[in-house]
Structure 1
């Protein structure tokens, strides 16, 4: 009898792994041809085969919050190019990223996107899309450019409620209305600026300016107030909103309540809020600057609440918020060796460590398990942001796959990441579970420690429409 698949009918077969598919865990083969997944679970053969027995076969990670080749609001260029950032991402199992095309004051939005597109096309080694960071609504042609760019596939917008790039509430409502008109998601860094400025001023006047004082400069009420307000804005306009980097118990509770009341909102958190507390900032000298981010790390009780919110589905995504600055004069120490917390660039690297940290935590006994891991690190991000061919191991999807050895242990070193940051914020942490093979559209990116990616091989991800609409946002997640 003729076999269903003859030899070499497929380009690549992953044989006999624990495959995490949308329908559940399937023990069997995954066949890949012409960059697409052509079958899941059936016995097949291929021109090349990888032994997946005893391994977890997961969708390639989708990281939807990363700052790459971007100038900070403080005028400090971050450490990574698209080449170094996406190389690092791939080494950690991530195959798609959404970074920011950040508008400078006075810059036409179309010019912003053109500049970032050129950088990414030159260097990206994984597939990518952009959030449009909006800072100057008064620049000539803004409304026309915004509508045209959304129609061209840039389906997510980023606004700030604080810092020197913040928008006022009436401007945020205007952006939400335009996003609703054109079919885009609005992402918000939600902290109330007046509260942050009040706290920062008091700390500086009292001489409390060490990195450890950074936590007090971001009172938790600033997050709570802004999150609740943005939820009300989303409800008022029936416009989908993604709330970035939730860090507090109360912030997660506000999202839960808003969603229960039908607000079209989603929310994410990040590994540094799940695994770190603010005490990490209290290091000798300026050493704590390595871990400074905004919002800052909180308390152990907040970690517990965030894990519970992920388990309950109140938070839908874990992103890295990769914001890389070297611990030297080009980055964290650009204001000198006596810099105060208010003069230090905020952010830490995370593209490479997000998935191993989460795999280790979620796959242990009592953890949330493989299906939840795949959902919050790949499937939900792809669905919410309209990456229609990403984030799932299913027939017809892009063959973006990461194979995990669940038993391999790795202890992070001082400078063992593949980005351009120069330090690992997780130095000394031992994790169990490691990506041994990373595949992008059927092409091998990483194999048993060898990196095979080429600068420019990543492709821009067109998002012709969002997968979720304002009137069914809550139902689809």
Structure 2
């Protein structure tokens, strides 16, 4: 110990997943950072007994929607206070939500608004993706370079949704700006014309039940859009990340591109493993709880997505937490085409994957940490500060009880939503202690956090294609 000063906190005797493998160790924390990792560390002001616990780096969720501006008169159920509280109780210690610029609005003003909200509300550390809904010269040439210099080094672009979608010419201009600045573009890849045409045909025929949501947004349309986004990125010679992959065909397109050396990254989310199109057909309007975009798909797609997550084709497992109150879904729920798209999942993301994929033998514990923490931190420029247990990294540490049996209910969760689509689902393995920057914020059912304690963490630039090592995608 430096100067013989005791650690502020010591996590003792847990089985930790470290960058070079698993080991039973103590972790000493000082001034919010991991100061030492080893056996029989010296005294600390506070000890946590981690025997019979897994000790993992805090989760990093790089796809979540909180505190977004009202959409058609509605706002997301979670603001940055309740959303980040829910995250930390689920074992996540860093989030990257979206600062959304709508058509006709200022990108700089959107980012400033989110900074102000997060500074007052966030329980845990954060960065922002910049949604470019209106790529004007002012946004691309003035606002974006300044925001990148301030540490927001990722953007998101949409190929669908009124008020957000970009045509191919706009996509090329934005990707060119991303290349010039060295930032990473996330792409929501759906064929907008296909969605609009099918929705019009279905509604015209009176086919508005929730199950038709999946019909209106077919997997083939996602595959075409993903292929087009990849092709445009190849033309511009810039990496992209294909967001929320739901379909086997999209996994195949990404794998084909990666096989020929194209720097394509991708993520998937819990709803594409643990919900299916059959859930849209739940009795009454219960299927509205499972309406998200892209929609949940078939068992064949679920298997392909899981294999893509297993073999690394899909680098990141994020939540796409986008919670809408069920009462709002019902109020606007005359049919699938009027129900707000999105569902909650930030608190259940890690437990679902741990229970099903780790305990089920599909992912190793190291793979679980890689997909949910290390890879998102690395890809979005937050490592080594975030995403791993290493001396000098932030002391973001989660203790898991790998045998804890939990039945998910909405009453158990800490979001501000009135439902979870995973109501009644049994899982085994649960995060029981969350430590962020050396502070114990969640321990055995008790929250000791406070809004506004989270900090903005500036992100570094992702690796450029010309400079990337061959292992960059993995």
TM-score, length basis structure 1: 0.95
Q: Deviations over 1:102-145 (max 9, x none)?
A: 01222211111111111111100011111111111237555211
Distance across 2 between alignment mates of 1:372 and 1:167? 35
User: Which residue of 446, 450, 455 corresponds with 2:451?
Assistant: 455
* Number of matched pairs: 469
Quick check: 1:151–1:464 contact (8 Å CA) kept in 2?
Answer: no
CA distance in 1, matches of 2:180, 2:70: 30
Distance 1:141 1:204, change over 3 A: closer
1:361 aligns with 2:360: no
How far 1:416 sits from its partner (Å)?
2.6
Correspondence list, 1:165-176, <5 A:
165-176=164-175
Unaligned runs of 5+ in 2: none
- 2:416 corresponds, among 420, 434, 446, to 420
Q: What is the rounded CA distance, in whole Å, between the counterparts of 1:267 and 1:212 in structure 2?
A: 26
Which residue does 1:220 correspond to in 2? Answer: 219
Question: Please, which of 108, 111, 119 is the counterpart of residue 109 of structure 2?
Answer: 111
Over residues 192-251 of structure 1, what are the superposed CA-to-partner deviations in whole Å (9 max), with x where a residue is unaligned?
111111111111111111111111010111110011111112222221101100001111
Q: Deviations over 1:344-368 (max 9, x none)?
A: 1010001100011111123315231
* Corresponding residue number in structure 1 for 2:434: 438
Partner of 2:17: 20
SS at match of 2:411: coil
Q: Could you say what secondary structure the match of 1:390 adopts? A: coil
Root-mean-square deviation (CA), in Å?
1.6
**Structure 2 matches for 1:11-160, cutoff 5 A?**
11-45=8-42, 46-71=44-69, 74-138=72-136, 140=138, 142-160=140-158
The CA deviation at 1:474 is 5.3
Cα distance in 1, alignment partners of residues 102 and 9 from structure 2: 44
1:285 to 1:72, Cα distance in 2 relative to 1, 3 A: farther
Residue 381 of structure 2 corresponds to 386
Pair 1:70–1:334, CA change in 2 (3 A): farther
**Structure 1 regions of 5+ residues with no counterpart?**
none
Give distance in 2, aligned partners of 1:352 and 1:119.
Answer: 21
Question: Is the Cα contact below 8 Å between 2:108 and 2:139 reproduced in 1?
Answer: no
Match of 1:231 in 2: 230
Cα distance in 2 for partners of 1:240, 1:224 equals 18
Give CA deviations for 1:398-452 in whole Å, capped at 9, x if unaligned: 0101000011111012433111111121111111111111000101110111001
Equivalent position SS for 2:399: strand
Deviation at 1:89, TM superposition (A): 0.4
- Match in the other structure for 1:292: 291
Contact 1:7 1:47 in 2 (8 A): no
1:281 alignment counterpart: 280
- Deviation of 1:371 after TM superposition, in Å, equals 0.4
Alignment of 1:296-311 (within 5 A): 296-311=295-310
| Inter-partner Cα distance in structure 2 for 1:181 and 1:5 | 43
- Maintained 8 Å contact 1:80/1:419: yes
> Which residue of structure 2 lines up, in the alignment, with residue 180 of structure 1?
179
3-state DSSP of counterpart to 2:81: helix
Distance 1:367 1:403 in 2: 22
Change (3 A) 1:289 1:435: same
Preserved contact between residue 109 and residue 142 of structure 1 (Cα < 8 Å): no
CA deviation vs aligned residue, 1:273-327 (integer Å, no higher than 9, x gap): 0111110011222221111000000011111111111111110010000000001
Query: How high is the TM-score relative to the length of structure 2?
Result: 0.96
Query: Cα gap change, 1:140/1:418 in structure 2, threshold over 3 Å: closer, same or farther?
Result: same
Using the alignment, how far apart are the partners of 2:244 and 2:470 within structure 1? 19
Distance 1:161 1:134 in 2: 11
Contact 1:86–1:124, Cα closer than 8 Å, also in 2:
yes
